[in-house]
Structure 1
Amino acid sequence: MTTTSASAANTTPRVTLRTLLAAGLVAGPLYTAVWLGQAATREGFDITRHPASLLANGGPGWIQTANFVIAGILSIAAAVGLRRAIVGRGSRWAPRLVGAYGVGLLLAAIFPADPAAGFPAGTPADYAEISTRGMGHFVAGSIGFTGLIAACLVMAAHYRSTGRTGWARYSTVTGVLFLGAFVGLMAGAGKPVTIIAFGVAIVLGWSWIAAICADHRRTT
């Protein structure tokens, strides 16, 4: 009886940790699939002109809102898993920063982006009014994307401290590219190259979260 109880006690945390890290594997592909599915089917949406956030507008906008909520919850769950899994340098801040990315996604659901650049259909092409909710969305994005960028750089330091230079480079490159794309989006005034670059950066960011969760899941 004692042996069985001890075995169960040792097994339960392990299963829980793997489940939390699995959330990080699911979050990105699910978010991307829902985003691109909408991009291909929503009237008036042009992936070279409209960032994913604009999909929260219009009748079917609840789909993107739900996408933000689910991705945010899964990211926070992954952050909890990483907090338990990471040992050494970055063990506190990296998970917190991934969690901040998740919080940013939840806030993006609460504060949808304003209609812009002709979307949703019927919006003037030059419409660019910033409402209170639009400002809230900008703050949400700043919190989330800054968290993700910083998480990449903190994890790069963690991997360097453990001698895993390949992972350190991967984390650094992801963080730097995401930073460049985010700055470009803010400064690009809706130019197609900046919209596309930022969309690619989102995919890279999600891929990085999935990769580090898979990496730590293998060792648990």
Structure 2
Amino acid sequence: MIRSGAPFLTGVLAGPLLLAVVVVDGTIRSGYDRVRHGVSQLGTGQQGWPVQITFVVCGALFAWFAVVIGRTLRAPGGSVWVPRWFGVLALGLVLAGIAPTDPALGFPPGLPEPATMTPAAVVHQVGGGLMFAGLIGGGIAAGRWFRRAGRRAWGWFSLGSAIIVAGTATAAGVVYRLIQRGVVGTGPAGLLELVSFVVGFGWAAAFAVSVSRWHRSRSTTSPVQLEPDPAAHREDGEHDHEQGDDAELGR
């Protein structure tokens, strides 16, 4: 049985770690424009290894978190789907990390954009789709769980985060395709995707903190059932018997 909040730290740390690496790497990488270029493009080229490793590490952290909350939310009043969606998120991050996407929109500088998607880019897209599906599905499932528990503010926060992630991720994909096909010259594809990352992984960290507190409150308030002591019952019986004998003698 999980008795402390330590196992939940994987879920608390994974999202902020990923966001920190993405923001720092996007700041120092030459030629990267976070308004135009997608987050995944930071994993391309010879300097893409920090983001690739971070994706895999954070995927492993979320996988362990999914196992932890799978055990925790199995209790009455818990949720089955929330840990499953975190498992989907974890798988998506690992796939996106081990298979980098193709160069695109002039980044990384000097690397040509292939005419067709490479197999690695296809796997990366599958991983990215699973990642966003995990964040969106997890937010919806957590929102339902929170509302059942009477925590309406957390419920709306989770549902709202899922909606924002879905909207911004979809918009980022549309803008990216329009730029790639020459329909528009430029657009905020990267910024929209970054917003989806910040909202999605920020929610995941907040959820990990919340479920850890929920678990601790259940652990501290659950009643402890004590087994009756046979010796105490024997002593009580003997005491009652002695009192009965004294009463008989008094007569």
TM-score category of the 2 structures, normalised to the smaller one: 0.7 to 0.9
Alignment of 1:120-199 (within 5 A): 120-123=108-111, 129-189=116-176, 190=179, 191-199=186-194
Which residue is equivalent to 1:4?
none
Q: State the structure with more CA Rg.
A: 2
Map of 1:19 onto structure 2: 6
Using the size of structure 2 for normalisation, the TM-score is 0.77
| Runs (4+) off by over 3 Å | 87-90, 126-129
- C-alpha displacement at 1:88, in angstroms? 4.7
Please tell me the root mean square deviation across aligned C-alpha atoms, in Å: 1.8
Given residue 153 of structure 1, which amino acid in structure 2 is its aligned partner?
A: I
Q: Which residue number in structure 1 is paired with residue 100 of structure 2?
A: 112
Distance, in Å, in 1 between the alignment partners of 2:160 and 2:108 is: 34
Q: 1:214 is matched with which residue: 203, 209, 219? A: 209
CA contact (8 A) 1:181 1:194 kept: no
User: How far did residue 192 of structure 1 move?
Assistant: 3.2
Aligned to 2:25: 38
Segments of 5+ residues of structure 2 without an aligned counterpart are: 180-185, 217-251
**SS state of the match for residue 210, structure 2?**
helix
User: Runs of 5+ in structure 1 lacking a partner?
Assistant: 1-9
Secondary structure in 1 aligned to 2:111?
Answer: coil
TM-score norm. by structure 1 comes to: 0.87
Equivalent residues, number:
206
Distance 1:37 1:216 in 2: 29
Classify 1:112/1:88 alpha carbon distance in 2 versus 1 (closer, same or farther; 3 Å).
farther
Q: Is the 8 A contact 2:102 2:114 kept in 1?
A: no
